[in-house]
Amino acid sequence: AQKITQTQPGMFVQEKEAVTLDCTYDTSDQSYGLFWYKQPSSGEMIFLIYQGSYDEQNATEGRYSLNFQKARKSANLVISASQLGDSAMYFCAMREGPGSNYQLIWGAGTKLIIKP
Amino acid sequence: ETGVTQTPRHLVMGMTNKKSLKCEQHLGHNAMYWYKQSAKKPLELMFVYSLEERVENNSVPSRFSPECPNSSHLFLHLHTLQPEDSALYLCASSPQSSGNTIYFGEGSWLTVV
């Protein structure tokens, strides 16, 4: 079974609109972490935002926020006021268990294209 | 500018060649990783080094040989590769004691001909 599911292979969004990228996860661990990364066509994987399973508040970093719904096991990334430079692949990833970065499990990614 | 630097950014090699990918991190991290990213596949973890000791080897063929001479440097030695090994190879690092963030380099695009 897929541990990380990103259901949107690709999305087109008008510049300045908000974007929601979906991510659902499957784990039986109580302690886990959820990550979002951005990968432009250049290849670099850029860390965007992190949410711990025990964090009570949704994580926010500038224009990025994570809509964490624990009961539904979803961790959607919201980008407010999208910009042309946001066009990239976006990956959701999960770390199961405390403190072990080795075990990052990755989704297949969503390709986001921002239209001018 | 990323704190994790990978060279070369692009590499084309024949199946009989021997080459190496290099990764250097300037973040003071104790753990370093090699990932492989093929088209239309999730990232695959290849190797993990923690405090210069290999702690993870995800059934990677022996034609890939990692080396971690110190906590700031990580190499991936390549020999007798196959065309299906063509991919983006990403190096990453993280603090040993923190579970929050892994930082990636810009990747090395490898083409095996």
Q: A33 vs B106: CB contact, 8 Å cut-off? A: no
Reading phi first (left if > 0) and then psi (alpha if -120 to 50, else beta), residue A48 is in: alpha
Q: A45 vs B94: CB contact, 8 Å cut-off? A: no
How many of the other CB atoms lie within 10 Å of CB of B60? 17
Please report which confidence band the pLDDT of residue B2 belongs to, taking 50, 70 and 90 as the band edges. Answer: low
Q: What is the mean pLDDT of each run of 10 residues along chain A (116 residues)?
A: 87 96 93 92 91 92 96 97 96 79 82 96
CA A42 to chain centre: 19
B29-52 pLDDT, tens digit each: 888 999 999 987 788 889 988 877
Q: Which of A25, A32, A45, A111 to mutate to test the interface with B (most CBs of B within 10 A)?
A: A45
Residue environment code for A42-66, b if the CB has 16+ CB neighbours within 10 A, otherwise e:
ebbbbbbbbbbbeeeeebeeeebbb
B27 to chain A: which residues are within 8 Å by CB? none
Q: B107 vs A95: CB contact, 8 Å cut-off? A: no
Cα torsion B33, B41, A66, A22 to 10°: value is -170
